[in-house]
Amino acid sequence: MSGTPVRHDLPEADDFTRPYWEAAAQGRLLLRRCGDCGRAHHYPREFCPHCWAGEDRVVWETASGRATLYTWSVIHRNDLPPFGARVPYTSAVVDLAEGPRMMTEVVDCDAAHLRIGMPLKAAFREAADGVWVAVFRPAPPAREA
């Protein structure tokens, strides 16, 4: 038995998800889009969860990184490594501009300033050596034309 604690925040990359994690390391969020029904989904699956089209009909697509805050919860206690060392943190669900809903974390924003529907932008945090995960921060205000 190893003395290294189990990490509950790291993905188990495989041949199918490797493009997703490689894109994240480059600062890009990938989605899967179905060629039959046209809908995007996240988390990545080999088939379409909306119409059940097979993997030959579903392709990778780079997301815009834009989202709106659907809901959130500030976590003050978590005994699973490494979360306990990061409390408090803001766990959130966001609606991606492309349609899918995604579980994530909001960073760089005090919980008192969070509002349902607020615009967010994807950012990436290195969770372990070479493993990057998507998080979201408040989007800069839109410029007036």
- Please write the tens of the pLDDT for every residue from 90-118: 999 999 999 999 999 999 999 999 999 99
The pLDDT value given to residue 84:
80
Cα gap 32→58, rounded to integer Å? 6
Residue 72 or 129, more confident? 72
Q: Mean per-residue pLDDT for 14-18?
A: 93
Cα gap 120→96, rounded to integer Å? 9
Q: Mean per-residue pLDDT for 20-39?
A: 97
What is the distance, to the nearest Å, from the Cα of residue 84 to the centroid of all Cα atoms in its chain?
A: 20
Q: Is the pLDDT of residue 3 over 70?
A: no
Full-model pTM: 0.88
Cα gap 26→124, rounded to integer Å? 9
Q: Mean per-residue pLDDT for 75-86?
A: 85
Residue 136 or 127, more confident? 136
Q: Mean per-residue pLDDT for 31-46?
A: 96
Label residue 24 by pLDDT band (50, 70, 90): very high
The pLDDT value given to residue 64:
98
Q: Mean per-residue pLDDT for 36-43?
A: 97
The pLDDT value given to residue 145:
58
Geometric angle at alpha carbon 92, from 89 and 93, rounded to 5°: 170
Cis-peptide into 119, omega within 30 deg: no
